[in-house]
Amino acid sequence: MNQAVLPITGYLDRFSARPGEDVVARISLGTVGPYRVRLVRVICGDPNPDGPGMQFQDLSARLDRTLQGRPQPIHLGSYGLVPKGPARSFMASCTWTVLVWTAHVGGAATLLSDGHLRIGSDSAGVFAELAGSNGPVRINTDVPLRPRQWHRVWLSADPSTGQLVIGQQAAGSPDIVQASDQLDGLRLPSAAPVMFAADTPSAPRHHFTGKLEAPAILAGFVTDWSAPLPPVLAAWDFSIGIPTQVITDTGPNACHGHLVNIPNRGMVGAGWTGKEMCWRHKPQDYAAIQFHDGDLDDCGWAADLTWTVPPDMPSGAYALHLTCNEGQDHIPFYVLPNRTGPFASVVFLASTFTYQAYANHARGNADAAYKARATAWGASPYNPDDYPIYGRSTYNRHADNSGISISSRRRPILTMRPGFLTFDDARGSGLRHYPADTHLLAWLEAKGIPFDVITDEDLDNEGPALLAPYRVVLTGSHPEYHTPGTLDALQRYTDNGGKLAYLGGNGFYWRVARVPELPHIIELRRAEGGIRAWQAEPGEYYHQLDGQYGGLWRRNRRPPQMLAGVGFSGQGKFEGTYYRRLPASYDPNYAWMFAGIDGEIIGDYGLSGGGAAGFELDRADPVLGTPTNAVILARSENPPASFVTVPEELLSHLHTVSGEEADALMRGEIVYFDTESGGAVFAVGSITFCGSLWNPAPANRGFNGPVSCLLENVVRKFAGQT
Ligand SMILES: [Fe+2]
């Protein structure tokens, strides 16, 4: 694999902190040498010369240090490790066995290792390697495993005769494939480390991508798997402790172990009956663990810097700016206000779950034109396409084509950087997520609207109390990923008089799981329905971490319309169109939002795809939960030719869920409603809306134009400033 690393990069132990709390930085350099770390406030992360430009406030008076750095390694690939396997006589015969399923046939890998012995698979079939008195020996079956079928694999060895047998048998097949050999001086391991899906505990390697189930070590030489088997020395049951990183030996020696790099658990196993779709109801059907050579949990780097957020530090978006002779990087984080305030009226809810879901999304689009633009603009020069070592996103797949369902934030995240370009956008900057949301932050700054910042993770940890001080909550451009905790908190907020401005598209869409034991991890299963980068396999729709049904919130009976009034309906390439005002926008009850706006067209310009209604569009739908008192103030027109209706709206080539023509559903709508408690929701239903807060037209350049005017009217009114 490409092992290229950045000249300097790192990660923090958290995305956000309050004054008085510590932020721990873990830094790695390409080579040993000095580097400088200083604090900046992030005002704008858009390097487009037609936009506001990259803007940082230098805070080196608060933090500016020069330190010595060095490379810190990353070990990709999940595996199981039993520190000490069963003790046994070196000369007693023995059998190792495991059930194997892989879609990645041909990848040379270790299935199970025990001390110096390993059982693996490659394009020539299943093999075993072990040591004899004349050096290492390898035997193999010469028959590849069948893709996506369960097999029993075994190695039997008898030191007294030197006999070795490696075997495999596909489930449901009577055919046993075996190879045998004779090895003088055969010595078998005892009380050695046992590993699953890798070998060599000191430097794990030969990672396997596929499922393993029921590994066991038996005290005897097995020749017939249908006959009574020898006594068990160790037998690991992966259906025990599915939400955990613990693996349990049910044998007499209790050789328990643990998992590294969070492989997938709760996966359909060899004995799956189909009688239950949830692993909690029949864990024995889910006794498989799916390992991948690209899995990554916490990089585990040593700490280089611990910095305490000063007590007078204002809430906002900040970054550690790292520089060394060879390059630079920014590691972003947010500072929350003190628990006791003071609080601004307005709070920005940073979509950190979404940033994390997209972390290091390799799109394969960092071509010469992309790189030329990045260079010309002084954008972040590092694209995940070129740096697989930092792990991929939940939009990417593993080597076996299965989707990546786990994302860690304890790693360098190249996409979550000021100045990171997602697309070579012909009509704009091509920003998404973290840098795209700085359009909103820079706009707030320019308009002189004070704001605090909190994150998805804070909201999930702390619940509704975190929102209680605020009159207005602003989302970013794409608050797509939510836990039950974040959705509940936002719903409670608007139900109790809070005012929510949903300033994105395709929000509140996917359900993610978190658990306290792994605070830096989100999990998602791309279950049935929705626009998906991959699909979870049938029977594997329940999260391993919390046991809940994953997938779309819509399929969890909580469509986005229930909270936000609008929900995902149309999608296309990263390009945008405009909205046209509807009669409700002239109604005296709502016309205040449009004060100062001339004409009917809203946002036929912008830094994201060239239009305020673009890329991913949401619309109102009472059947899906849009409140009956909601009004549609404006609607997008003329969707670009690349747009499609989202699959969850389509029933057949003729019919849609709503009954409307499919093409008519490719629209975004600006919606407003009051709640009974005096709260309100303003929703724009488009990812590119915030890109149009800035008007790049030379005659009107700046945070000017109908989009800026509309949002300023809404935010000031919500904040009680008018
Ligand atoms: Fe998305």
pTM of this structure: 0.97
Amino acid 107: pLDDT: 73
Q: What is the CA radius of gyration of the chain?
A: 28
What is the distance in A from the centroid of ligand 1 to the CA of 396? 13
Q: What is the mean pLDDT of residues 532-558?
A: 97
pLDDT at res. 90: 84
pLDDT band at 258 (very low <50, low <70, confident <90, very high): very high
Query: Of 469, 494, 489, nearest to 680 (Cα)?
Result: 494
Question: Is pLDDT at 438 greater than 80 in this prediction?
Answer: yes
Q: What pLDDT does residue 223 have?
A: 84
Longest dimension (CA), the chain: 95
Q: Is the dihedral of CA 264, 265, 269, 272 positive or negative?
A: negative
Q: Are 283 and 106 in contact (CB under 8 A)?
A: no
pLDDT of residue 186: 87
| Rounded distance from Cα 303 to ligand 1 centre (Å) | 32
Higher pLDDT, 108 or 256: 256
pLDDT for 213 equals: 98
Query: Does pLDDT of 715 surpass 90?
Result: yes
pLDDT digits (tens, 9 = 90+) for 353-376: 999 999 999 999 999 999 999 999
Pick the closest to residue 694 from 46, 172, 137, 144 (CA basis).
46
Ligand 1 centroid–CA 359 distance in Å is 12
User: Alpha carbon of 425 to those of 357, 365, 429, 608, 668: distances in Å?
Assistant: 22, 11, 6, 8, 20
Distance from C-alpha of 579 to C-alpha of 601, rounded to nearest angstrom = 6
Does the structure show a pLDDT above 80 at 133?
Answer: no
pLDDT value at residue 151: 97
685 Cα to the center of ligand 1, angstroms: 13
Query: Element (H or E) spanning 26, and its range?
Result: strand 22-29
Q: How far away, in angstroms, is 480 Cα from ligand 1 center?
A: 6
pLDDT value at residue 708: 98
* Residue range 207-211: mean pLDDT, rounded: 97
Distance separating alpha carbons of residues 473 and 446, to the nearest angstrom: 18
Considering the chain, what is the average pLDDT of its residues? 97
Q: Which residues pair with 305 in a beta bridge?
A: 25
pLDDT tens column, 598-645: 999 999 999 999 999 999 999 999 999 999 999 999 999 999 999 999
The string over 411-420, giving b where at least 16 C-beta atoms fall within 10 Å of a residue's C-beta and e elsewhere, is: bbbbbbbbbb
CA 608 to ligand 1 centroid distance, Å: 15
Query: In the prediction, which pLDDT does 136 show?
Result: 82
Peptide bond into 464 cis (omega under 30): no
Question: Which tens digit of pLDDT belongs to each residue from 39-51?
Answer: 999 999 999 999 9
CB contact at 8 A, 640 and 575: yes
Please, what is the Cα angle at 143 between 137 and 147, to 5 degrees? 120
Q: Compute, in angstroms, the gap from residue 477 CA to the centroid of ligand 1.
A: 10
Checking if the pLDDT of 270 tops 90, the result is: yes
In the predicted model, is pLDDT for residue 685 greater than 80?
yes
Distances (CA, A) of 574 to 31, 191, 259, 662: 38, 57, 39, 20
Rounded mean pLDDT of 384-405?
A: 97
Mean pLDDT along residues 300-315: 98
Instruction: Report CA 343 to chain centroid distance, whole Å.
Output: 31
Q: Residues 59-80: what's their mean pLDDT?
A: 98
Give the distance (Å) from ligand 1 centre to CA of residue 445: 26
Q: Ligand 1 centre from 507 Cα, in Å? A: 8
Tell me the CA–centroid distance for residue 478 and ligand 1, in Å: 7
CA of 532 to the centre of ligand 1 (A): 9
Between residues 133 and 378, the one the model is more confident about: 378
Residue 76's nearest CA partner among 352, 289, 263 is: 263
Percent of the chain with pLDDT over 70: 100
CA of residue 398 to ligand 1 center, whole Å: 19
Scanning 310-392, the segments in alpha helix (DSSP H) are: 352-357, 368-377
Please give the full DSSP string across 566-631, using - where no structure is assigned. -EEEEEEEEEEE-EEE-GGGGSTTTGGGGTT--SSEE-S--SSTTSSEEEEEEE--GGGT--TT-E
Kindly give the distance from the C-alpha atom of residue 61 to the centroid of ligand 1, in angstroms, as a whole number.
Answer: 38
**Ligand 1 center to 645 CA (angstroms):** 15
Per the DSSP assignment, residues forming a β-bridge with 673 are 681
- The proportion of the chain whose per-residue pLDDT surpasses 90, expressed as a percent, equals 95
Which of the four pLDDT bands, split at 50, 70 and 90, describes residue 417? very high
pLDDT tier at 13, thresholds 50, 70, 90: very high
Residue 124: the pLDDT is: 87
Two tokens at 336? 């929350």
The Å distance, Cα 506 to ligand 1 centre, comes to 7
Structure confidence by residue, pLDDT tens digits, 457-498: 999 999 999 999 999 999 999 999 999 999 999 999 999 999
**What letter represents residue 191's amino acid?**
A
Nearest to 334 by CA among 451, 480, 415: 451
Q: What per-residue confidence (pLDDT) applies to 92?
A: 94
* Mean of pLDDT values over 650-665: 95
The angle subtended at Cα 35 by Cα 33 and Cα 37, nearest 5°, is 160
C-alpha of residue 386 to centroid of ligand 1, in Å: 22
Is the predicted pLDDT of residue 108 greater than 90, yes or no?
A: no
